[in-house]
Structure 1
């Protein structure tokens, strides 16, 4: 993954932010949208592309474009930084290889402990019964 190449491929778009805020909100575009085309990227390898497409399939459009937004700050520059940081975090999380599960068996001591607990529990319940019946 080449971060510099990916930064060059990102498309930013400034949009008017929604919600309350008075006159300032109505005339400034402080919300930032990030568009990233996963299929056309040359900053990631083919293997990484397939992993990203699989992991992020619910977040991608039909054209395999990842769209992220940020309107946390009133500053367009800060929102651009926030959305870029979030983009790289999402990308790194999607590229992590899952750990392979190793099959293990319960130890003899843990089996005995479980059976002992079961025995104690059954005796406890047996003692609750009416002794005359």
Structure 2
């Protein structure tokens, strides 16, 4: 079990990892060793996630989410496979932690009197500039 938050834990079996060859630096090693990690997590069918966290997670995942509801995270920052694996898991857990935090409710506010005054002054100034452009100059 992988602890995510105080009340969310993931089962190891829910995370599938495959190792692929990484691009970027690494010399000849990059052509021989599959050091990049492609982590897959089925967010839509995960029994560990509450429904509201699941919907927020799918929205946060963005382009990393497939049509089937699987989150795919590719990690290839490091040269070592173990470090890439840890990086991919940390990125997934961070994503789930952000989804677990409920969004703050927006409090309706009104503009201050000074802000309203500045807005009106700006509009008057702009209207004056446009008014000057409308009149044809006289060459008398």
Same fold (TM over 0.5): yes
- Tell me how far apart the structure 2 counterparts of residues 47 and 105 of structure 1 sit (CA, whole Å): 31
Give the match for residue 103 of structure 2. 98
Residues 97-122 of structure 1 deviation map (CA, whole Å, 9 limit, x = unaligned):
33222222222343345545666788
- Tell me how far apart the structure 2 counterparts of residues 11 and 80 of structure 1 sit (CA, whole Å): 11
Give the match for residue 64 of structure 1. 69
Instruction: Choose from 36, 39, 56 the match for 1:51.
Output: 56
| Distance of aligned partners of 1:114 and 1:60 in 2 relative to their CA distance in 1, 3 Å threshold | closer
* TM-score, normalisation: structure 1: 0.73
* TM-score, normalisation: structure 2: 0.70
Structure 1 gaps, min length 5: none
Question: Is the CA contact (8 Å cut-off) linking 2:60 and 2:95 kept in structure 1?
Answer: no
Structure 2 gaps, min length 5: 132-136
- Aligned length, in residue pairs: 133
Residues 35-67 of structure 1 deviation map (CA, whole Å, 9 limit, x = unaligned):
101122122122322332344354311211111
